[in-house]
Amino acid sequence: MGSAFPRASPSSSRRPSSRAIMSEFTSPGDSESMLARFEGLARKRRATRHFSQQPLERKLIERLLLTAQWAPSGYNLQPTRFVVVADPRIRSRIRRACMNQQPVKEAPLVIVFAGDHRAFDRFPETLEADLAGGAITAEYAGFLRKMVPLMFRQGPLGLNWFWKATLIPLARLFVPIPQIMAVDKRFWLAKQVMLCAMNFMLAAEASGLGTVPMEGFDAGRLRRVLDLPRSWEPILVVPVGYAKQGPAKKTRLPLERVILWR
Ligand SMILES: Cc1cc2nc3c(=O)[nH]c(=O)nc-3n(C[C@H](O)[C@H](O)[C@H](O)COP(=O)(O)O)c2cc1C
């Protein structure tokens, strides 16, 4: 890992306690002002095209990534992984994998948001943690122990994949069946990872940093340059830093063009 930022003390990566988080949300009268602040934040976030070279504190980045981790995930499997690239030599190599996009060169830090195809391996761990924390009942845990492996397991040599991919669409003609992760793994991973990435970008905005989400990259090359574990799939590249210039004006489609009420 590069040396662009000072090492944080171990305590900086500790999650804030639930009590500390909840104390910020105790007054119901706060909801209007919280919403107004959140609206302002969401509207202010723009894709940053030019970054200053000002280095970033490792402590701050860890804090933002902890916030990213609070994004929801299917069955709380938390498949998002972060690859934090500060080393300018690695950044210049990944820039090529990112179609030479300028922000990858300019930003002092690039974070690759990846999805772990093996997230299901941690299912017993996350399930027990949720059970111990009182987040789920023993009855629901029992249901998940049966259901989740059915959704994710591909069996030896991926052989279960075959019947899941062929028989389930047939069964779906007769009964409702949700998306099966063992079949649509990349789609499933992309959904989960993007939620974390959005949390990260909003938290970064709140801290005065700019970001730009990027899908313009060659995943195979990126994977090789970063020497990623085999099961980690790059989903989004996000250069991060202080913006060099004000945000460009952007528009959004009128709400009535993108909404259906039923
Ligand atoms: C999934 C996704 C992929 C994107 N990929 C790129 C990219 O490769 N390069 C780039 O310059 N911008 C990229 N963008 C940024 C968009 O162009 C930008 O978000 C959009 O124009 C809206 O502008 P705003 O973010 O400033 O509101 C991407 C955005 C998203 C959500």
Residue 153 has pLDDT above 60, yes or no: yes
Position with higher pLDDT, 168 vs 38: 38
Q: Ligand 1: residues within 6 Å at CB?
A: 46-47, 101, 212-216, 250
Report the nearest atom of ligand 1 relative to the CA of 103.
Answer: 11
What pLDDT was estimated at residue 28? 65
Q: How many helices (H) and strands (E) does the chain have?
A: 11, 4
Query: Is a pLDDT exceeding 50 seen at residue 11?
Result: no
Q: By alpha-carbon position, which residue is closest to atom 16 of ligand 1?
A: 47
Q: What's the gap in Å between 75 CA and the centre of ligand 1?
A: 29
Neighbours of 136 (CB within 10 A): 18
Residue 196 clears pLDDT 50, i.e. is over it:
yes
Contacts of 3 (CB under 8 A, 6+ apart): 86, 87
Cα 252 to ligand 1 centre (Å): 13
**SS3 of residue 94 by DSSP:** helix
Residue located nearest, by CA, to atom 7 of ligand 1 = 214
Question: pLDDT at position 21, please?
Answer: 57
**Residue with CA at minimum distance from ligand 1 atom 4:** 214
Nearest atom in ligand 1 to 98's CA: 8
Residue range 34-117+192-245 in CATH 3.40.50.1100 = no
How crowded is residue 204: how many other Cβ atoms within 10 Å of its Cβ? 25
Phi and psi at residue 211, to the nearest 5°: -145, 160
Structural Rg of the chain based on CA atoms:
21
Give mean pLDDT, residues 227-242: 98
Residue with CA closest to ligand 1 atom 6: 214
**Probe target for ligand 1 pocket from 50, 100, 212, with the most ligand atoms within 8 Å of CB:** 212
Confidence of residue 1 (pLDDT cuts 50, 70, 90): very low
